[in-house]
Amino acid sequence: MVQLSNYLQEALHRELLLKQKMVILQELLSTLLQASEKSWQGQLNEDKLRCKLRVLENQLQACTQSYSKECVKKILIEMEDQKQAYEQKAKEDFQKILEDKLLTEQQLENSQVSNGISPTRVFVPLIGEPALPSTAQLRADAQNEQLRRELRALRDEHGELLQRASALRSANDRQAGHIRHIQDKLQKEQEQKVTLEATISHLQSKLDPQAEQPTEEPGGDGAKERSANFVTPSCAEETRAEASPEPGAVSHQEPDCFLDQVFTTQTPSLIPAKEKQSALSEHPEEEEEEEEEEEEAGTESLKDEMQKRTFQLTAEENEVRKSLSRNTTHQSSCR
C-alpha cells in the first residue's frame, strides 16, 4: 500500500509537471506568433523604405534631366536633410535596442540569482518523500525561459538593424557621390557658358566695326542685302560659337537660347511623370518598366531634337559665313 501511494504521488507530480509544461508551451506559441508578426512587419517596412529610395532616385534623375540649376540645388538640399533624418532615426533605433538588451540581461541575471537552489531539488520526489515544486519556482523558471527567448529575439533584431543601418549608409554614400557628380557637371557647364559668352562678345566686337562702316552704292541694293544679312547678328554669332564637326557632339556647347528651348520642351513631361510615380508607388516592378520606357522615349526625342537643332545651326552658320564673305568682297570692291 505504501508503494502504491508513492506511485500515485509520483504520478500526480508528473501530471502537474506535464500541465506546467503545456502552459509554458502555450506561452511559447503566443510569443512565437508575436515574433513572426513583428518579423513580417519589419520586412514590410523594409520594402516600403526600398520603394521610397527608388522613388527618390527616380525623382533625382528626372530633376537632373529637366530642372534648372536652382531647382537642382533645392532638391540637393532636401536630399541632404532626408539623409540626416534617416541617420538620426537609425541611431535612435540602435540606442533603443541596446537599452532593451541591457535591461533583459539584467533581469535574466537577477532571476538566475534568485533561483540558484532550485535545480538541486528536482529529483527529490523520486528518491524520498514526494515534494512538489512551488509555484514561485515554476514561475521563475518560466520567466527565465521567456527572458532567454526575448534576449535571442533582441539579438536577432539588433543584427538586422545593424545590417539595415549599413545598407542605409551605403545608399547615402551612393547618393552623395551622385550629388557630387551633378555638382561637377553643373560647374563644367557654367565654365563652358562663360567661354561661349566670351567668344560671342569677341565676335560681336569684330562684327560691329564692319556693320558701322558706311558704303555708298547706286540703287541701294547692297545696303538692303547687308541689312538682310545682319537682321539677326546675335543668333549668327551664337551659331558660329557653337559650331562643331559632329552632329551629336553639341551637348556641352549649346548657347543659352538652345538650352532654354530644351528645358521648355522637357518641363511639361515632368508633371505626368510625377503623377505616375505617385500612382504606381505600390507596384515597383511596373513603375520601373514604365520609367525605363519613358526614359528611352525621352532620350530618343531629345537626340532627334538635338540633331535637328544642330542641322539648323550649321545651316545658319553657313549662311552667316556666306554673308560675311559677301560683305568683305563688297567692301574690298568699294575700296
Of 50, 67, 84, the residue that ends a domain is: 67
- The residue type at 26: Q
**Which of 167-204 are b and which e, b meaning 16 or more Cβ less than 10 Å from the residue's Cβ?**
ebeebbeebeebbeebeeeeeeeeeebeebeeebeebe
Say yes or no to pLDDT of 200 above 80: yes
Band (287; pLDDT cuts 50, 70, 90): low
Confidence of residue 213 (pLDDT cuts 50, 70, 90): low
- Rounded Cα distance between 110 and 105, Å, is 9
pTM of the model: 0.26
3-class DSSP state of 134: coil
Domain that holds residue 171: 155-188
**Residue 56 confidence class, pLDDT cut points 50, 70, 90:** confident
pLDDT at 116: 57
Per-residue pLDDT for 282 more than 60?
no
Choose the final residue of a domain: 188, 204, 233: 188
pLDDT of 281 above 60: no
The residue ranking higher by pLDDT, 310 or 253, is: 310
The answer to the question of residue 107 being in a domain is no
Average pLDDT of 214-241? 43
Could you give the percent of the chain with pLDDT greater than 90? 3
Give backbone dihedrals phi and psi of 260, rounded to 5 degrees, phi first. Answer: -65, -40
Asked if residue 234 belongs to a domain, the reply is no
More reliable by pLDDT, 170 or 143: 170
| Assigned domain for 12 exists | yes
Residue 4 within a domain: yes
At which of 163, 188, 213 does a domain end?
A: 188
Q: Does 172 reside within a domain?
A: yes
> Are 158 and 139 contacting, i.e. CB atoms less than 8 angstroms apart?
no
In a domain, 313, yes or no: no
- Where do we find the cell 543584427? 159
328 domain-assigned: no
- Averaged confidence pLDDT in the chain: 71
Residue 216: pLDDT above 50? Answer: no
Residue 46 domain-assigned (yes or no):
yes
Number of domains within the chain: 2
**97 or 69, which is more confident?**
97
Closest among 215, 228, 209 to 322, alpha carbons compared: 228
The average pLDDT across 27-32 equals: 88
